[in-house]
Structure 1
Amino acid sequence: MNHQLKTKLVSMLEVVYPSLDCDFLSDQLLSTMGLSPDQAPPPAHQNNWDESDIVLITYADSVQKDGQKPLVTLHQFLEDCLSETVSCVHILPFFPFSSDDGFAVMDYLAVNESHGNWEDVEAIASDFKLMADLVINHMSSRSRWFDNFKKRVDPGKDYFFEGNPRDDLSAVVRPRTSPLLTAVQTEDGERHVWCTFSEDQVDLNFANPKVLIEFAGIIREYLERGVIIFRLDAVAFLWKEPGTPSIHLQQTHELIKILRLLIEHHSPDAVIITETNVPNRENLTYFGNANEAHVIYNFSLPPLLINTLVTGDCRHLKTWLMSMPPAQMGTTYLNFIASHDGVGMRPTDGLLSEDEKQRLINTMDSFGGKVSYRRTADGRDQPYEINIALYDALKGTVESGADHWQLQRFICAHTVMLALEGIPAFYIHSLLGTENDLERVENTGRLRSINRSQWQIDTLEETLDNPLSHHSKVFHELKRLIAIRRKQPAFHPNATQFTLHLGLQVFGFWRQSMRRDQSVFCIHNISNEVQQIALSDINLIGTEHWVDLISGMTIDDLSGSITLKPYQSVWLTNRN
């Protein structure tokens, strides 16, 4: 019998666990996932997405209604307002938790009772592709596993990574300023557990293969509950070794390959997305050779695009875009400008100078933003992320401060994102134009709360029905642009992309469908001044009929020019 799956799995496991019986371990993993050793592989380089795919990122309780479970309210909002707009819903951790708005999970296999139940989750999964977080790096210090760790019993006794305060840990890369090791009293004395993010988020020990088997069981449960897209949270930190940076280690990459192998053999249409908020070159490594993540977050896009629009200069965005490799078939990018976290600054390393970073930080501070820090190996605190609502991040420019172009600048940012190679993802508070929630920051004491507002559904519906509200203007214009995008083959996430050179105030790129039957020239005025662009600089083909998908404007004279108002975008296509 051909045991192709098992043979491949064993070879991967031997990289991670060279001293263990990997043949036996592979049998345990396959049994846990309900797979046979000769399970047929999925088609190679298969794209489980197309131009119609749009992701919504939301907390389970971002939209609420008195007397109703938030997951039910969210489903109602999705059905009533977004059923023709988004194809995929990423519900941020909806499990019982002790801190970090869900990312300190207490029980991976339960739904937070205050949000709803598994039936509510499955109902959303029946209408939309469901993305869920696999919070794989760490677990709550109030979980049953960690209680068992302190009691020195299974399951949990050896599930958490321990460190020695005498070890040299100076090389460890972390996104926080809190101590790395936390002292814990256990039944057999004091132990020091590794906490990459906080003392309430204790890192799991994947050197113990029982932890991997546990997560195989968790993954299978999620698949059977309707989850089809897995976001591997903070996965870059998964494997730790004192004396190393303990980020991006080879064992981490191999574990991602193992998880992908198991997931895609169980469900060939399932997708893995890695969440690695790191410099661009490091981020790209998570594609592997099209055998790790199907999709990676385009973490450099948010800070670069915001910087472009507040400076009126696209040179850095253009340089970055030209350096980005086209994703292989079966892989692509997840494009986003805002998320539940802040605007990461590490992804700008090597892309913006230190002075440019500081100027961006100062500008965001003037627009009501906050800054979170991380501690470097030499003990310095460096800016890690800017905490700000995207609508307020784009309220003005570096030179002039707040101005009257906020709405247009905000729409321009999303028009750029919608057209780029990859899958667009909208954070719910960007889709709604939500502003800085400083009251929530004060109440929680956490800077990230600035962009984690909660809407009462009645208030939200009333606001969206008010044509004078900027929330309504944002929501309806973004829905209109999304509807246009979803019909264009040239906007397939893997369609060809080339950068155009139209000066520093105009950012442009060209997309061509994989069948080469549609071209779209995406041209954006990223400044607060009118821009004139000669059509000869765009190289439109004279035998084609050209129209702007956004405005309906037709191009009759290719020897002429087009005029773009401040922050205006055009999508010029030869097919409508």
Structure 2
Amino acid sequence: MVVNESLHHTVQTYLRTLYPDHDPTELAHKVLKVMRLENTHQAPRPHQNHWTEKDCVLISYGDSIIERNRKPLATLLDFVQQHLGNNVSVVHLLPYFPYTSDDGFAVLDYYQVNDSLGDWQDIEAFGNHYRLMSDLVINHCSSRSGWFNNFRQGLSPGKDYFIEIDSDWDLSKVIRPRTNALSQTYRCNDGERQVWCTFSRDQVDFNFANPEVLLEFISIIRFYLDKQTSVFRLDAIAFLWKTPGTNCLNLTNTHRIIRLLRLLIEHANPAAWVITETNIPNRENLSYFGNANEAHGIYNFALPPLLLHTLLSQDCSHLRNWSMSMPPAQNGTFFLNFIASHDGIGLRPVEHIFSATEVDELIETVQQSGGLVSWRNLTQDQVKPYEINVSLFDALARTHHSEDSYQRQRFLCAHTIMLSLEGIPAIYIHSFLGTQNDYDKVQHSNHNRSINRHRWQLSRLQSLLQHKEAHHGDILAQINALISIRRQQSAFHPNATQFTLQLGNHVFGVWRQSIDRKQSIFCVSNVTSKPQRLSLSELNLIETNLWHDLLSQQDLNADNGVINLAPYQSLWLSN
């Protein structure tokens, strides 16, 4: 078949460049056999948007909600169906494999489900009701995995799967996301070896210069596809390829491997998505779109710190300027917009946006709300803030200058802005629930990120959701209401036009227009604790009777051509 010949040729081209010392024809045959694509008759059409305004991602651990005598995955699925329904279309189950540390990101066995969560039937059940998003923890695995045990004993598979550091290598330029030593010593059968560990001693990096490692992960991808995964999150992918003497971040071969994996995944399932997780400065992050041939989606990593800064400083100038500078995603690609996740609020994406003083002020304010800070190495003797660790609800408890009673309004304003932006929204389960800082989990795990990885007892959570004085039920209802409205608006398609409005530093706004140009929505938000006046002339609105606020379900009511915005109030004005 012509399609097979074309696919085989393209795969060979990638492999010839990645592995010049190996036979590309033989390697390509192995790759296509592992992916079961030898006889495929389907090929993906380029620049297709397999997503709409109805898409929204839920991010959750498999055991974020637990109850006695029941598998957590089954409990979670019931909760999602009951309380979120079709307001979410994609469920991102954070690593659900056996692991030894980092809440799942030090994987022991990629082919098993952690039996404390459930089994493969429970995983597939999510895929039967929603799009299932699974993590491909591709940069590293647990130091106690079977593969690394084999490495230490000189056995296959595994003996060539990891990177043994040569003392002559120049590693001075390597960019670090942590403060631990890059080189870790392990006792092996033939003596001590120095092994590359980007993130922790328990997370040993794979050697993708060995094609057998690539083949192993292609096998894992095929297995996950068979288990109902249709969205792949490539974890820590920016660190994948290592070349001594370079910074070992975003290297060309890393991009080549992503293009190859997307090619294979799309041929296996043309509607599948590949999403890259790259917590790096904004310009570098954008490079992972390639020419619409790498990631379908990239995490909008600059958005969480920008929105947090906007609402704590009560000044949207950085958010506005960033929004103006962002290129629209091509058809076939999208931004994944989020403001909270299982990780912290990363500061690397805004290193060239915030001043040192602004970073310090942001950190100080969040620390006053109980937040923590994680650091990374710049040099052997110098560290720099890497991320803020805090639950989003608590992060918005106060502004830079004072405490007030607007925490809930700030929290909902942040989500309203996020839901209005170009791209697909992704909401952490603890944002849906207004979960607060978990200090017990931090103390137990000795891990700052645990502060935002609370585990709810279902009975306790249900009680709070029904309690009128607690904020949890109100937060859940209001975010659900926002998503329900968003799902019905064609102007909120992930690839619909977006223009940033010039409304000063206290009101943030964007104009969205549907792909068919039939619907426009002006999304404006007061980002301060003071009332703000907005002139309709700033929105170029003249015929006020044609406009309707989707959020309040009221026709536009302007007094002398001016809209009065209450503290943290948002409007979605649609025609």
| TM-score normalized by the length of structure 2 | 0.98
What secondary structure, in the 3-state scheme, does the structure 2 residue paired with 1:458 have? helix
**Aligned twin of 2:317:** 315
C-alpha distance in 2, partners of 1:378/1:505? 41
How far does the alpha carbon of each residue in 1:395-450 deviate from its partner, in whole angstroms, 9 at most, with x for none?
A: 111011x2100000000000000010000010010110001111211111111110
1:17 aligns with 2:19: yes
**Aligned twin of 2:121:** 119
Alpha-carbon deviation of 1:544?
6.8
Alpha-carbon deviation of 1:243?
1.1
C-alpha distance in 1, partners of 2:243/2:556? 60
Contact 2:56 2:87 in 1 (8 A): yes
**Aligned twin of 1:465:** 466
Alpha-carbon deviation of 1:377?
3.6
1:281 maps to amino acid? R
What secondary structure, in the 3-state scheme, does the structure 1 residue paired with 2:437 have? coil
In the alignment, which of 54, 57, 60 is matched to residue 59 of structure 2? Answer: 57
**Aligned twin of 2:539:** 538
**Aligned twin of 1:427:** 428
**Aligned twin of 1:483:** 484
1:205 maps to amino acid? N
Correspondences of 1:437-448 after superposition (within 5 Å): 437-448=438-449
Which consecutive residues of structure 1, in runs of 5 or more, have no partner in the other structure?
Answer: none
C-alpha distance in 1, partners of 2:404/2:51? 39
**Aligned twin of 2:529:** 528
Alpha-carbon deviation of 1:19?
2.1
**Aligned twin of 1:374:** 376
Identity %: 54
Alpha-carbon deviation of 1:541?
5.5
**Aligned twin of 1:399:** 401
Alpha-carbon deviation of 1:556?
5.8
C-alpha distance in 1, partners of 2:20/2:497? 42
Greater CA drift, 428-437 or 37-46: 37-46
In the alignment, which of 122, 127, 131 is matched to residue 133 of structure 2? Answer: 131
1:247 maps to amino acid? L
Greater CA drift, 371-380 or 19-28: 371-380
C-alpha distance in 1, partners of 2:223/2:432? 31
In the alignment, which of 153, 156, 159 is matched to residue 155 of structure 2? Answer: 153
How far does the alpha carbon of each residue in 1:463-513 deviate from its partner, in whole angstroms, 9 at most, with x for none?
A: 111232111111100001110001000000000000000110000010000
Alpha-carbon deviation of 1:309?
0.2
- Say if 1:406 and 1:543 are closer, same or farther in 2 by CA, change over 3 A: closer
2:458 maps to amino acid? I
Runs of 4+ in 1 over 6 A off after TM superposition: none
Contact 1:278 1:299 in 2 (8 A): yes
**Aligned twin of 2:263:** 261
Contact 1:535 1:558 in 2 (8 A): no
What secondary structure, in the 3-state scheme, does the structure 2 residue paired with 1:84 have? helix
Alpha-carbon deviation of 1:459?
1.2
In the alignment, which of 74, 77, 89 is matched to residue 75 of structure 1? Answer: 77
What secondary structure, in the 3-state scheme, does the structure 2 residue paired with 1:304 have? helix
Contact 2:545 2:555 in 1 (8 A): no
In the alignment, which of 270, 278, 281 is matched to residue 280 of structure 2? Answer: 278
Alpha-carbon deviation of 1:38?
6.4
- Say if 1:476 and 1:328 are closer, same or farther in 2 by CA, change over 3 A: same
C-alpha distance in 2, partners of 1:51/1:437? 33
C-alpha distance in 2, partners of 1:314/1:462? 37
Question: How many residues of Structure 1 are paired with residues of Structure 2 in the alignment?
Answer: 573
1:476 maps to amino acid? A
C-alpha distance in 1, partners of 2:141/2:525? 44
In the alignment, which of 32, 35, 40 is matched to residue 33 of structure 1? Answer: 35
1:194 aligns with 2:184: no
1:242 maps to amino acid? P
C-alpha distance in 2, partners of 1:567/1:218? 46
C-alpha distance in 2, partners of 1:467/1:185? 58
Contact 1:87 1:128 in 2 (8 A): yes
Greater CA drift, 517-526 or 377-386: 377-386
2:562 maps to amino acid? S
Greater CA drift, 438-447 or 551-560: 551-560
C-alpha distance in 2, partners of 1:99/1:146? 15
**Aligned twin of 2:167:** 165
Alpha-carbon deviation of 1:185?
1.6
Contact 2:557 2:563 in 1 (8 A): no
- Say if 1:525 and 1:471 are closer, same or farther in 2 by CA, change over 3 A: same
Contact 2:519 2:574 in 1 (8 A): yes
What secondary structure, in the 3-state scheme, does the structure 2 residue paired with 1:20 have? coil
How far does the alpha carbon of each residue in 1:230-258 deviate from its partner, in whole angstroms, 9 at most, with x for none?
A: 00000000000111100100000000001
Greater CA drift, 238-247 or 555-564: 555-564
C-alpha distance in 2, partners of 1:452/1:224? 29
C-alpha distance in 2, partners of 1:350/1:559? 41
**Aligned twin of 2:419:** 418
**Aligned twin of 2:392:** 390
**Aligned twin of 1:358:** 360
Contact 1:6 1:37 in 2 (8 A): no
Contact 2:303 2:338 in 1 (8 A): yes
What secondary structure, in the 3-state scheme, does the structure 2 residue paired with 1:493 have? coil
Contact 1:309 1:397 in 2 (8 A): yes
C-alpha distance in 2, partners of 1:486/1:13? 42
C-alpha distance in 1, partners of 2:332/2:485? 24
1:132 maps to amino acid? S
Contact 2:545 2:556 in 1 (8 A): no
**Aligned twin of 2:294:** 292
What secondary structure, in the 3-state scheme, does the structure 2 residue paired with 1:412 have? helix
C-alpha distance in 2, partners of 1:557/1:301? 31
What secondary structure, in the 3-state scheme, does the structure 2 residue paired with 1:504 have? coil
* Root mean square deviation of aligned Cα: 1.2
Contact 1:540 1:558 in 2 (8 A): no
C-alpha distance in 1, partners of 2:557/2:84? 36
How far does the alpha carbon of each residue in 1:352-395 deviate from its partner, in whole angstroms, 9 at most, with x for none?
A: 11111111011111110000000014631100000000001101
Contact 1:6 1:26 in 2 (8 A): yes
- Say if 1:38 and 1:60 are closer, same or farther in 2 by CA, change over 3 A: closer
How far does the alpha carbon of each residue in 1:113-151 deviate from its partner, in whole angstroms, 9 at most, with x for none?
A: 000000000011100111010000001011000111011
How far does the alpha carbon of each residue in 1:168-222 deviate from its partner, in whole angstroms, 9 at most, with x for none?
A: 2110011000010111121222211100000100000110000111111100110
C-alpha distance in 2, partners of 1:524/1:36? 53
- Say if 1:361 and 1:556 are closer, same or farther in 2 by CA, change over 3 A: closer
| TM-score normalized by the length of structure 1 | 0.98
C-alpha distance in 2, partners of 1:341/1:552? 36
**Aligned twin of 1:329:** 331
What secondary structure, in the 3-state scheme, does the structure 2 residue paired with 1:60 have? coil
**Aligned twin of 2:205:** 203
1:221 maps to amino acid? F
Greater CA drift, 286-295 or 159-168: 159-168
Contact 1:170 1:243 in 2 (8 A): yes
**Aligned twin of 1:99:** 101
1:327 maps to amino acid? A
Contact 2:342 2:449 in 1 (8 A): yes
**Aligned twin of 2:183:** 181
Contact 2:544 2:556 in 1 (8 A): no
Which consecutive residues of structure 2, in runs of 5 or more, have no partner in the other structure?
Answer: none
Alpha-carbon deviation of 1:82?
1.2
Alpha-carbon deviation of 1:80?
1.3
**Aligned twin of 2:246:** 244
What secondary structure, in the 3-state scheme, does the structure 1 residue paired with 2:287 have? helix
C-alpha distance in 1, partners of 2:415/2:40? 45
Contact 2:186 2:193 in 1 (8 A): yes
C-alpha distance in 2, partners of 1:345/1:247? 17
1:340 aligns with 2:342: yes
- Say if 1:559 and 1:9 are closer, same or farther in 2 by CA, change over 3 A: farther
C-alpha distance in 2, partners of 1:16/1:235? 16
